[in-house]
Structure 1
Amino acid sequence: MQMLTDDEALSEAAEAVLEDVTALRKTDSRTELDQRRVKTRDDISRLVRASKRHL
């Protein structure tokens, strides 16, 4: 993300998404995994929409 923009908030959002994606494999239960997958998918969608403004 840092290659696209100097927007600090956008870079922080990208880092948070990567942390969430990494945490998926460390999930203990199927229910928790499903919840994290939904959150991660939604966060990625928001990040992509926000990033489009900088392309």
Structure 2
Amino acid sequence: MTVIGWLQIILFCVVIVALTKPLGWYMTRVFNGERTFSSPVLRPIEAGIYWFSGV
């Protein structure tokens, strides 16, 4: 494996570790039904999909 290949693997691992805490925080709030930063945008879209599908 080349040096570039190893650097890509290391970069991927660093990105995964860096995203673990914020993504876990976000998922916890979503699963508990709490408000998140994307709620004002996604909630009307979700309601529209439910209305359109008859749920």
Report 1 or 2 for greater relative contact order, CA contacts < 8 Å, sequence distance ≥ 6. Answer: 1
> Does the TM-score normalized on the shorter chain lie above 0.5?
no
TM interval, short-chain normalised:
0.3 to 0.5
Please report the TM-score for the alignment, with normalisation by the length of structure 2: 0.42
Report the TM-score, using the length of structure 1 for normalisation.
Answer: 0.42
Q: Which has the larger radius of gyration?
A: 2
